[in-house]
Amino acid sequence: MSDLRQLLQRCLAGEEEGAREFVARFQQPVFGLCYRMLGHFQDAEDVTQDALLRALRHLSRWDQSRPFRPWLMAIAANRCRTALDRRRRRPHPTAETVDTAVAPPEPTGDLGEELQLALESVRDELRCCFVLFYQDGMSCAEISEAMNVPEGTVKTWLHRTRRQLAERLRQRGIVPETTHELPGLSSTR
């Protein structure tokens, strides 16, 4: 942590090498969240730049008695939310132009892609919570700090998201219909 604190002090002092190290250190987790939230590489890249720039610009507002990562991820999550809001406000294409895009894509068989597809159907805050927990490895307490909700709410959101994702995967045929046998018992993990 002291290493991080020194790095942040260097950024605050306007040291270019410190800023470079800062971006190199945090760009991947920030991008990971943005990419999973937005589902689009270019959009995620833009929002990542924006979030990191904002963090650098407003570094003096970070409370050093609190963990840094939730603060940074809160900025990224809010940038994603703004980008999603902006995307939703855009005029929708007419029915004639999207008649082929209305139907959901065929199951690809790729579990990762199917999970991402399912994830895009859940609410923003649930998705954010899920990504922070399962991709960034943040604890429920850290997510609670980042999203400004009680820790119990984070757990509830995670359970709810898992259930919704499972339901979605089941609808897509990724999870087999329940039988009277015990298929899970023979699988090796």
Partner 1 sequence: MNCQDFLQHVEDELLSHPEAAVASLRAHLADCDQTSCREFLENTLAIEEAVRVWRDQTPQVDVTGTVLTRWKTEAAVPDVREPVRPSESPSLHRATPDPTPPPASRAWPVVLAVALLMLTLPLLVPGRSGKNDRAGTGPVTAVEPSVPSPTPSPNVADAEPHTAVVRDRSIAYYNAAQHATRMVTDAVVLVLPDDDPSSQFEDPTHVPEWVGHWGEQIEPLKTQFDSAVRSLMNVLPEPMPAT
Residue 4 is a binding residue for partner 1 (CB under 8 A):
no
Residue 87 is a binding residue for partner 1 (CB under 8 A):
no
Q: Count Cβ atoms within 10 A of the Cβ of residue 97 and give its class: 0-12 exposed, 13-18 middle, 19 or more buried.
A: exposed
User: What span, in angstroms and rounded, lies between the C-alpha atoms of 150 and 127?
Assistant: 17
CB atoms within 10 A of CB 17: 9
Residue 16 is a binding residue for partner 1 (CB under 8 A):
yes
The one-letter code for the residue type at 99 is: D
Residue 108 is a binding residue for partner 1 (CB under 8 A):
no
User: What span, in angstroms and rounded, lies between the C-alpha atoms of 59 and 57?
Assistant: 6
The one-letter code for the residue type at 105 is: P
Q: How far is the CB of 118 from partner 1 (least distance, A)?
A: 8
Residue 105 is a binding residue for partner 1 (CB under 8 A):
no
Residues 33-62 that bind partner 1 (CB under 8 A): 35-36, 41, 44-45, 48-49, 52-62
Q: How far is the CB of 149 from partner 1 (least distance, A)?
A: 7
